[in-house]
C-alpha cells in the first residue's frame, strides 16, 4: 500500500530517517556482520594471531557433544514452555470467555505476570523450590520426592520451564481470549441447538477456529523460549547443574564472555540468527495468509 | 452464554479462581519471604503468613542495599531503571515516528533500502549479537553510562512498523487540505499527524516502558560500576553472592520493589496495554 499524495523535499526525508538508520547501522548491522566475519576466523588463546579457517568453526560446533546437547535442551525447553503456558492460558481463556460476572477482575488478575522481568520470575520460582526453605520443595518432600535443583539436572530444567511458562501465561491468555471473542456466536448457538454440549462444541468448532491464533502463539512462544528466557536461566541455575539448563542463547553468552572463545561464540550467534530469521519468515508468511483468509 | 448450565458456570469460576491462586502464589511467597528477619531462613521451610519485619527489610533494601553485593541502595537502582526505561520508550517512539513518517509521506531514492535496513533489525535480538555489540559500545566509550544503557536498544522495527501501518490508514485528504492551507511537511507532522497518533503512542509507550524496565542481559554486560546498576540485574548480583546462601529477605524485598512499577503500569493502564500488545504483534 502506498500513499497517493506525498510531500516533495530534497533532504528532509533523509534527515528524518537519520537517527534510526544511524543506530541500526552502528548497533545492529555492523555487530551482526562482525559476528558473521568472526565466525570464519580463529584466534589463538592470547588473542595475538587470527587466522581464517572457513567453515571450521561450524564443523567443530556441530561435532561438539556439548553443543548438540545444548540444542537438545533448547528444543525440550522451548516445546515444554510453549505447551505448558499455552495449555494453561487456553484453559483460563475458555473459562473467562464463559463467565459474565467478574470477567474483568479475572482478566486483571491473570495478566499482571506479563510485567515481571524474566530474571525476577526465575528468582521467585527459585525461592519457591529452594530445597531447604521453599514451600514447594517441602510439599514434594512430604510426597516422597527429594527435590534438589542444585544437583539434579531434570529438576533444574523443570524449574526454569515452570518459571518461564508462568511468565508467558498472561500473554497467551490475552491472545486466546481475543481469538475466542472473535468467533461468531451464531456458530456456537447453532451447534447448541443441534444438541452439542460445551465440550463437544469446543473440540469441533472453537478449537479449529482458534487454530490461526494457536499457530501464531506457538511461534511467538518458541521465540520467547529461545531468547527472552536468558534472564530466567542466568539469574537462577546459570546453565547448570552440568549442562542441564544450558540453552543455546546461554551458551553463546557463556562461551563468549566467560570462555572467551570468540570464533565459536560468533559461529553460535550465526546459527541463532538463522533460527530467528527462519522463525520470522514463518511468522510473516503465516500472517500474510491470515490476512487473505 | 448459549444455554443455562449453572454447574458448568460454577466450574468455570472454580478453575479461574484456582488459576489466579496458582499464578499469584510465587508472588505471595516472595512477599512473605521479604517480611522475615534473616534468622528465619535458617530454621527450615518458610511459613505461609507474613512476618513482622516488613519495614526493616524494605527500608534496608531501599536505602542501603546488600553489603555483600556492593551495597548499592535499591532506591538508586530503581532510579537507574526508570531513567533507562523512559529513555528507551521515549527514544524508540521518537525515532520510529520520524522514520515512519519519512517512509510513508515521501518518495526519495533509496526509500526501500532504508525500509529494509530497519526491517532487518527484527531478526537480530541483542542476545544473538552480544559480543560484537558489546565491543562497539566499548569502543565508543559508552560503558557505564545512561547512553550506553539505552541507545543501543532504541532502534526498533516493531515501533516503526506500527506507525507506518497507522499512517497508511490516515486519509489522503488531510494532506491535501494541509497543503492547500499552505502547511509544509513539518507543520503537517506536528499539527495533524501527531495529534492523530496520540492513542497509538500511549499504547506503545506502556509496552516499551515494560520492555525497557525488564532489560537484563544488556545492563548486566555494560555496567561494571555499581552506581549504574539497574534493579532487575541488581537482583542477580544479590543472588549470586559467592560462597553463601542468598540473603533472601533483602533479595525478595528487592524483587517485589522491582516488580511494582511495571505491574502497576499494566494494571493501571490495562486498556492501553492490551491495545499496545495486540498492535505490536500485527
Instruction: Please write the tens of the pLDDT for every residue from A64-88.
Output: 888 888 889 999 999 999 999 999 9
In this structure, is residue B251 part of a structural domain?
A: yes
In this structure, is residue A233 part of a structural domain?
A: yes
CATH number where A175 lies: 1.10.3720.10
Domain tally, chain B:
1
Q: Whole domain around residue A254: which residue ranges?
A: 65-292
Interface test with A, best of B129, B159, B242 (most A CBs within 10 A): B129
Query: What burial letters (b/e) apply to A179-203, b meaning 16+ CB within 10 Å?
Result: bbeeeeeeebeebbeeebebeebbe
**pLDDT tier for residue B70 given thresholds of 50, 70 and 90:** low
CATH number where B147 lies: 1.10.3720.10
Give percent of chain A with pLDDT exceeding 70: 95
In this structure, is residue B116 part of a structural domain?
A: yes
User: In chain A, which residues have their Cβ closer than 8 Å to the Cβ of B217?
Assistant: 230-231, 234, 253
Domain tally, chain A:
1
In this structure, is residue B227 part of a structural domain?
A: yes
**Contact (CB<8Å) B26/A189:** no
Winning range, highest mean pLDDT, from A16-25, A84-93, B59-68, B250-259: A84-93
In this structure, is residue B70 part of a structural domain?
A: no
In this structure, is residue A30 part of a structural domain?
A: no
Whether pLDDT at A291 is above 50? no
In this structure, is residue A18 part of a structural domain?
A: no
In this structure, is residue A26 part of a structural domain?
A: no
**Contact (CB<8Å) B99/A20:** yes
In this structure, is residue B38 part of a structural domain?
A: no
Q: Whole domain around residue B169: which residue ranges?
A: 75-280
User: Which of B175, B210, B255 faces A123 most closely, judged by CB atoms?
Assistant: B255
Whether pLDDT at A268 is above 50? yes
A30 touches chain B (CB under 8 A): yes
Maximum alpha-carbon separation in chain A: 78
In this structure, is residue B119 part of a structural domain?
A: yes
**Contact (CB<8Å) A234/B48:** no
What ipTM describes this predicted complex? 0.86
pLDDT of amino acid A292: 36
Which has the higher per-residue pLDDT, B118 or A169? Answer: A169
Q: How many angstroms separate the CA atoms of B282 and B274, rounded?
A: 13
Distance from the Cα of residue A84 to its chain's centroid: 13
For B13-38, the pLDDT digits (tens) are 999 999 999 899 989 988 888 888 87
- In residues, how long is chain B? 282
Q: How many angstroms separate the CA atoms of B162 and B203, rounded?
A: 11
Distance from the Cα of residue A250 to its chain's centroid: 13
Whether pLDDT at B12 is above 90? no
Distances (CA, A) of A14 to A1, A8, A18, A20, B190: 21, 12, 6, 10, 18
Which has the higher per-residue pLDDT, A39 or A107? Answer: A107
Whether pLDDT at A289 is above 80? no
- To the nearest whole Å, the CA of B247 is away from the closest chain A CA by 11
In this structure, is residue B146 part of a structural domain?
A: yes
Whether pLDDT at B214 is above 80? yes
- Compute the radius of gyration of chain A from its Cα atoms: 24
In this structure, is residue B29 part of a structural domain?
A: no
Amino acid at each position: 500500500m502506498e500513499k497517493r499524495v506525498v510531500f516533495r523535499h530534497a533532504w528532509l526525508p533523509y534527515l528524518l530517517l537519520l537517527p534510526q538508520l544511524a543506530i541500526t547501522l552502528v548497533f545492529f548491522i555492523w555487530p551482526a556482520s562482525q559476528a558473521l566475519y568472526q565466525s570464519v576466523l580463529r584466534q589463538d588463546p592470547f588473542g595475538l594471531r587470527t587466522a581464517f579457517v572457513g567453515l571450521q568453526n561450524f564443523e567443530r560446533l556441530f561435532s561438539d557433544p556439548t553443543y548438540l546437547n545444548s540444542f537438545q535442551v533448547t528444543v525440550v525447553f522451548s516445546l515444554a514452555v510453549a505447551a505448558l503456558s499455552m495449555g494453561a492460558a487456553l484453559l483460563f481463556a475458555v473459562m473467562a470467555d464463559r463467565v459474565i460476572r467478574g470477567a474483568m477482575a479475572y482478566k486483571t488478575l491473570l495478566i499482571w505476570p506479563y510485567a515481571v522481568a524474566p530474571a525476577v520470575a526465575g528468582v521467585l520460582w527459585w525461592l519457591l523450590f529452594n530445597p531447604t526453605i521453599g514451600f514447594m520443595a517441602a510439599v514434594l518432600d512430604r510426597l516422597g520426592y527429594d527435590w534438589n535443583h542444585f544437583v539434579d539436572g531434570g529438576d533444574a530444567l523443570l524449574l526454569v520451564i515452570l518459571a518461564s511458562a508462568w511468565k508467558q501465561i498472561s500473554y497467551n491468555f490475552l491472545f486466546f481470549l481475543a481469538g475466542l471473542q472473535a468467533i461468531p456466536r451464531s456458530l456456537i448457538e447453532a451447534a447448541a441447538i443441534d444438541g452439542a454440549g460445551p465440550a463437544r462444541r469446543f473440540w469441533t468448532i472453537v478449537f479449529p477456529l482458534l487454530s490461526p491464533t494457536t499457530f501464531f502463539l506457538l511461534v511467538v512462544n518458541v521465540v520467547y523460549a529461545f531468547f527472552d528466557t536468558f534472564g530466567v536461566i542466568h539469574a537462577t541455575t546459570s546453565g547448570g547443574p552440568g549442562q542441564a539448563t544450558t540453552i543455546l542463547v546461554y551458551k553463546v553468552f557463556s562461551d563468549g564472555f566467560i570462555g572467551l572463545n570468540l570464533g565459536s561464540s560468533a559461529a553460535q550467534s550465526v546459527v541463532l540468527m538463522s533460527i530467528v530469521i527462519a522463525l520470522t519468515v514463518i511468522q510473516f508468511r503465516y500472517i500474510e495468509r491470515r490476512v487473505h483468509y | 452464554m448459549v444455554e443455562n448450565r449453572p454447574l458448568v458456570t460454577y466450574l468455570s469460576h472454580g478453575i479461574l479462581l484456582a488459576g489466579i491462586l496458582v499464578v499469584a502464589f510465587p508472588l505471595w511467597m516472595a512477599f512473605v519471604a521479604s517480611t522475615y528477619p534473616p534468622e528465619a531462613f535458617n530454621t527450615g521451610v518458610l511459613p505461609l503468613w507474613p512476618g513482622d519485619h516488613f519495614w526493616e527489610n524494605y527500608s534496608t533494601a531501599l536505602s542501603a542495599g546488600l553489603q555483600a553485593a556492593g551495597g548499592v541502595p535499591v532506591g538508586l537502582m530503581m532510579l537507574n531503571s526508570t531513567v533507562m526505561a523512559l529513555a528507551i520508550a521515549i527514544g524508540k517512539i521518537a525515532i520510529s515516528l520520524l522514520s515512519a513518517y519519512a517512509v510513508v509521506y515521501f518518495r526519495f531514492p533509496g526509500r526501500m533500502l532504508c525500509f529494509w535496513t530497519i526491517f532487518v533489525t527484527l531478526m537480530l535480538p541483542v542476545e544473538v549479537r552480544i559480543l560484537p555489540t558489546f565491543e562497539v559500545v566499548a569502543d565508543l566509550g559508552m560503558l557505564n553510562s545512561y547512553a550506553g544503557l539505552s541507545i543501543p536498544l532504541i532502534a526498533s522495527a516493531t515501533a516503526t512498523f506500527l506507525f507506518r501501518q497507522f499512517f497508511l490508514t490516515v486519509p489522503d485528504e488531510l494532506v491535501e487540505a494541509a497543503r492547500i492551507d499552505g502547511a509544509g511537511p513539518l507543520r503537517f507532522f506536528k499539527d495533524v499527524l501527531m495529534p492523530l497518533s496520540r492513542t497509538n503512542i500511549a499504547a506503545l509507550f506502556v509496552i516499551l516502558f515494560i520492555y525497557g524496565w525488564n532489560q537484563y542481559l544488556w545492563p548486566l554486560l555494560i555496567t561494571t560500576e555499581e552506581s549504574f546498576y539497574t534493579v532487575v540485574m541488581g537482583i542477580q548480583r544479590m543472588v549470586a553472592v559467592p560462597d553463601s546462601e542468598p540473603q533472601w529477605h533483602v533479595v525478595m524485598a528487592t524483587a517485589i520493589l522491582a516488580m511494582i512499577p511495571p505491574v502497576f503500569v499494566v494494571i493501571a493502564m490495562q486498556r492501553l496495554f492490551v491495545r499496545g500488545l495486540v498492535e505490536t504483534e500485527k
